[in-house]
Amino acid sequence: MSSFSIWERGSNVRHPYEKYIRLEFITIVLVVILALFAIIQSYLLFIFLGLYLLAISYILTALIEFHTYRTQVAMKHALRAALLFVLATYLIFTM
| Helical ranges in 3-70 per DSSP H | 5-9, 18-41, 44-67
Rounded to 5 degrees, φ, ψ at 49 are -60, -40
The Cα–Cα gap between 66 and 86 comes to: 22
pLDDT for position 58 = 95
pLDDT for position 95 = 82
pLDDT for position 54 = 93
pTM: 0.79
Q: What is the mean pLDDT of each run of 10 residues along the chain (95 residues)?
A: 53 75 91 91 89 94 92 96 96 90
pLDDT for position 8 = 56
Residue 43, SS3? coil
The Cα–Cα gap between 34 and 40 comes to: 10
pLDDT for position 18 = 86
pLDDT for position 82 = 97
pLDDT for position 42 = 85
One-letter amino acid for residue 92 of the chain: I
